Amino acid sequence: MLHQQNLAVCYGEVLWDILPDGPQAGGAPLNVCYHLNKLGLPAGMISRIGDDENGRELMALIKSAGIAAGLIQTDNVYKTGVVIADVNGSEEVKYTIVSPVAWDHIVYNDEQTEVLSAARYLVYGTLASREATSRDTLFKLLETDAIKVFDVNLRPPHFTPTLLHDLLLKTDILKCNQEEINIICELFGAPDDNHSQILFLQEKFGLSEIILTRGRNGALYFNGSDVFQAHPPIIKMADTIGSGDAFLAAFIYNHNQSKPAQTIIDNAVAMGAFVASKKGGCPAYQPTELHEFLNLHLQL
């Protein structure tokens, strides 16, 4: 069972990213969970793995990272998730997401709701809702009082307009990139310009907090009627895998501490750059290394 001190619960896919230089543990919710724990905010996973060697190795890595894994289920039918990643240079990654797999079949139980009743944040995306079982479980968990953080993470064809609409209605904090916000607004008949898109999302879905990531151009944080902008530091990039997940982890970490909005987005962008300077979505690093990076680039 997850300990009640877990302040965040991440829901969805845990898997192996098959990269040109070998497999790496991944899945956006797992990456966020990993970095939350690294930052010092206790977080656990709700997911499902197969009863296979890939699942056992993945579970061993998850536990070794200090991630609460008591709500990661084991499936006797479906295999542990695998994603084939095609890395084109350092900027673009294309994914082939194998289906169906174990995390498509996360079964609801009362313990999940019990854990969330003691947590402050629930982090989720669209991908784990591509099959009915995991989708139904997520929507039950969205009835809890946790702050719902929706990392859109669109992966065609694994979403529908209806799914997006229903998830957005449950959302407290929305994170998306420019391509994703364009898709959402086109589906729901919003204007083309960025300012109107944000206003449309805020009004239609009652979203008071929207994060718009912009790659090399940093990010925008819309908090009510205010907007805050941050630019990333100049780094030597290794790859972009998991940098957006690390960004979100830092956002949640600072949001939980009620830091000023500008500080929240500055730290999130810096954290994304830090992970982009390393290979993989869950690179090994020490807190001292991260703090030195943040001190250098944020002039703390």
Read off the pLDDT of residues 188-198 as tens digits, 9 standing for 90 and up. Answer: 988 778 789 99
Q: What is the CATH number of domain 8-298?
A: 3.40.1190.20
Residue 20's pLDDT is what? 79
**H-helix segments, the chain:** 28-39, 53-64, 110-117, 132-141, 161-169, 178-187, 194-205, 243-256, 261-276, 287-298
Residue 2's pLDDT is what? 42
Whether residue 4 is predicted with pLDDT greater than 80 in this model: the reply is: no
Residue 130's pLDDT is what? 97
| pTM of the predicted structure, to 2 decimals | 0.93
- Domain map of the chain by residue range? 8-298
CA distance 50 to 282: 21
C-alpha dihedral (55, 285, 43, 128), degrees to nearest 10: -50
Residue 113's pLDDT is what? 96
pLDDT tens column, 261-275: 999 999 999 999 999
Whether residue 239 is predicted with pLDDT greater than 90 in this model: the reply is: no
Beta bridge partners of 82: 16
